[in-house]
Amino acid sequence: MSAHTHAAVDTAAVESADPCCAAPLPVLGRDVTVPLVTGGEVTYAALDYAASAPALQRVWDDVAAYAPYYGSVHRGAGYLSQLSTDLFENSRATVAEFLDCRPADQVVFTRSTTDSLNLLAAALPADCQVFVFETEHHASLLPWQDARVTYLNAPRTPQQAVATLERALADRKPHGPALVCVTGASNVTGELWPVKELAAAAHAHGARIVLDAAQLAPHHPVSVQDLDVDWIAFSGHKLYAPFGSGVLAGRADWLQDAEPYLAGGGASRTVARRADGGVDVEWHTTAARHEAGSPNVIGVYSIASACKALTEAGFDALVARERHLIATVREGLAEVPEVKVLSLFGDDAPRVGVISFVVEGWNSSHFAAALSAEYGIGVRDGLFCAHPLVRTLLGSDPQTQGECGAPEAAPGERSLNAIRVSFGAGTPDEHVERFVGAVKELVRDGAQWKYRTEDGRCVPDRG
């Protein structure tokens, strides 16, 4: 088996003369059927891509083809070990190309976006100040607890975001090292953030910037060089490669100067006993410095496979098709007066296929449960690991209790939650059309079944 062996992509099925009519990319589970509480079965409509996207069939095929050849990475003398090492390092090069990294950048493989940003947080230089908007996913909002953190209020326009950051950076004291952490696309509203402009503002004030591309990379091409970001983080499980790996890619200096994220084999170059009985360690200065332990070869290879598949399918066609799906959902929801779509930047803001909303007269948990149980549609409800942002967007809007309550609130707080529908390269038109039809029917006619709260979740009452 060659390290580059993969299943062929049927580009004729992926692209057509009209990119808006391009077929969805084949994904695992596309033919799965689920039971309906009202009787019968239906093909499952997976509309929770923002949480985890299904594996591309191409990725699954590549992983299955490699699995019999799996071996220990690095230092092994056997053929399978050498092949796996080549596969692992070639995957690193593939990811660097996918992200359009600078020649000197390092690509470090991690477990997830959260792991990547915690790694960078551990590598911050002394007295580094961190600036982050309250609109971030918790993976971007929370890793900086050991640093001096300035949390910026939610902007209402991209221009306000840039101006807010510029003021904060200009006013920082002392004027030492600083890091800005920003998302590329909101996991709540799907809106694109002005990353290039924020990077320019950061650099103009002597700061660096890390891009959380977890929601951006699966939907749009991402160029480290064009955006001029210092680091980028993303997860395989949102990039159609749900096998437990993530990426932190970018400048090497802070990573090289930091203590290894984990101490152990693979991160160390040499280890020797001292005369006094202690141990001296020389750590690697390459990406291996922060990749201690046996690496997740299959997870890494699956990310590289997904990068290749998306590139070969063509982002122009993928983006055009997704815009068609977004329009279908937004136009359908706009026809329901009881639906309020959540937004920071307004209706005309560019966005990816992530849309959150609330329904007057419904608790969001109840509505999501009915979509699943009665229509075979999987969406998400809650605060989406972005509690400050969702609370800001919901404000004081009431949440009707309905037959199921929202998740428990903290003492003294109101219980708030929303519904999120999200989709991507593997979503067929029928899924979003079924979703829009189901929303209209539920609002008009109500649920056909009774529901109750069980272990904090709204479920059909089968008693």
Tokens linked to 46: 């997976």
Q: Which amino acid is at 19?
A: P
Of 128, 307, 385, 458, the active-site residue reads 385
The Cα–Cα gap between 380 and 436 comes to 15
Tokens 């600036």, residue located: 131
Question: Which DSSP category does 438 fall into?
Answer: H
Per the CB < 8 A criterion, the answer to whether 419 and 357 are in contact is yes
Q: What is the radius of gyration, based on Cα positions, of the chain? A: 23
The Cα–Cα gap between 89 and 108 comes to 11
Residue spans of alpha helices (H) in 30-157: 57-66, 79-98, 113-122, 138-141
- Comparing CA positions, the residue from 415, 411, 387, 388 lying closest to residue 401 is 415
Residue 313's SS3 state is helix
- Comparing CA positions, the residue from 249, 155, 168 lying closest to residue 201 is 168
- Comparing CA positions, the residue from 31, 24, 28 lying closest to residue 57 is 28
Does 458 qualify as catalytic in the annotation?
no
- Cis amide linkage into residue 174, ω under 30° from 0: yes
Tokens linked to 156: 């209402």
- Comparing CA positions, the residue from 382, 383, 387, 364 lying closest to residue 442 is 364
Pairing of strands 178-183, 129-133: parallel
Catalytic site residues?
385
